[in-house]
Amino acid sequence: MTNAATFYVTHGGAVRGAVTMPGDKSVSHRSVLFGGIAEGITEVDNFLESEDCLATLGAMRAMGVRIARPSAGRVVVEGVGLHGLRAPTHALDMGNAGTAMRLSMGLLAGQAFDATLVGDPSLTRRPMERAATPLRQMGAVIATSAGRPPVTIRGGQALQGIEYTLEVASAQVKSAILIAGLYATGTTIVHEPAVTRDHTERMLRAFGVPVASAGGRIALSGGQPLKSTQLTVPGDISSSAFFIVAGLLAADGPFLIRNVGINPTRTGILDILALMGADIRILNRRLAGDEPVADLEVHRSALRGIDVPEHLVPLAIDEFPILFVAAALAKGTTRVTGAEELRVKESDRIAVMAEGLLQLGADATATPDGMIIHGGTLHGGQVTSHGDHRIAMAFAIAALRSSGDIAIGDVANVATSFPGFADLARGAGLSVQETR
């Protein structure tokens, strides 16, 4: 979706003080989805009120789940039980949210009614057969449009548990299978080729459903009820990544980022930056439900180029736009391989980031599964995010170390994952103006 919204970011400056992260998007999606099919009332604090998460909330409401929002970031879900959802009267609009669509495919595969999932033009370009294929093996009847949305799911199918090996490490596909497994006869088993984020497994356990996971094998038995619970959503490490890199590039003294989820399946960003020479200190470790949380103290650091270990790529897949910026401003060469998944995100993030970096004077070469970046300096200029929220925010952070101002076009979709980004960035010290 193209729009007239633009960020204008003045070059230079510093970040200082402390920022507090909004709730994690992945956990927020799952909180209302699982709360909706649980028995009893689930209370959620620090829910991310982004457009993506509100799409999941709206879909659950459309299927008969009563959800109240008594205050900012607080959601109360009156669960209807595993089999209590009702047929929606219209297509369920997932907006820009690939997570919402793929998880909903797993949920709807086991329902008694038909449903159709639609999305915005960006989501309509994203592949859905990775989730549809294993769900069909379970007995679901699913139709896509040339492999992409809209997605139609026929209700009333008897699902059977399967044992399935993911072709590509994907937490969304894994989650769709596990959610469908709740409605299947027997045991559903998923094998991962590499570790992916495990929010679904953790949250199912929080709702009282035993999930076995070891050595890349995840299993659950069908037919188990979910019991309501109380949840506090940790801060989103994907959103934190922009401020982590901002601190590494331009912190004036210790820069504190509060309330960051440090689930070990999500901390690839910290591991990669550590290899690049980052000084990031993890403080005040604690738990928010079953999710580990901490505060991060970031110090300005001289970053160096590295060959990013492929095993860390799935653990940082959403953070690569800002990692590419860090690499462009590091000393030496950074090579990323094994990241072909970036080509089927909200945009082709390999192509779009390479295009923008080149426009800002970086030495960056896109490859089929990653990028080669020879670090150096960036000048100012105009780039477009192609409607991709993470690319828009990454180039905003780049202005801290560019020699000229940066204008970033097509940024309205920042609200899909990080409403209030510009305000928080200004509070930390960036000079960001948004015009429409």
| Inter-residue contact 399 to 422 (CB < 8 Å) | no
Sign of CA dihedral 189, 194, 196, 202: positive
Q: What is the largest CA-CA distance in the chain?
A: 61
| Inter-residue contact 53 to 240 (CB < 8 Å) | no
CATH of 6-23+235-435, one of 3.65.10.10, 2.40.110.10, 3.40.50.2300, 3.30.70.1520: 3.65.10.10
Note the pTM of the prediction, 2 decimals.
Answer: 0.89
d(CA 161, CA 134): 10
From first to last of its 436 residues, the chain has per-residue pLDDT tens of 345 799 999 999 999 999 999 999 999 999 999 999 999 999 999 999 999 999 999 999 999 999 999 999 999 999 999 999 999 999 999 999 999 999 999 999 999 999 999 999 989 999 999 999 999 999 999 999 999 999 999 999 999 999 999 998 899 999 999 999 999 999 999 999 998 999 999 999 999 999 999 999 999 999 999 999 999 999 999 999 999 999 999 999 999 999 999 999 999 999 999 999 999 999 999 988 789 999 999 999 999 999 999 999 999 999 999 999 999 999 999 999 999 999 989 899 999 999 999 999 999 999 999 999 999 999 999 999 999 999 999 999 999 999 999 999 999 999 888 999 999 999 999 999 998 7
290 catalytic per annotation: no
The pLDDT value recorded for residue 288 is 84
d(CA 32, CA 59): 10
The pLDDT value recorded for residue 3 is 54
Residue 346 CB neighbour total at 10 angstroms: 25
Which pairs from 351-354 meet CB under 8 Å and 24+ separation? 352/384, 352/385, 352/386, 352/388, 352/391, 353/320, 353/321, 353/324, 353/391, 353/394
d(CA 134, CA 117): 18
Burial (CB count within 10 angstroms: exposed 0-12, middle 13-18, buried 19+), residue 16: middle
CATH of domain 25-232: 3.65.10.10
CATH 3.65.10.10-classified regions of the chain? 6-23+235-435, 25-232
d(CA 218, CA 198): 10
Q: ∠ CA 272-275-277 to the nearest 5 degrees?
A: 115
d(CA 403, CA 405): 7
Catalytic annotation, pick one of 24, 93, 236, 318: 318
State the DSSP H helix or E strand holding residue 363, giving kind and residue range, or none if neither.
strand 363-367
The pLDDT value recorded for residue 415 is 86
Sign of CA dihedral 283, 12, 410, 308: negative
- Single-letter code of the amino acid located at 84: G
The pLDDT value recorded for residue 2 is 43
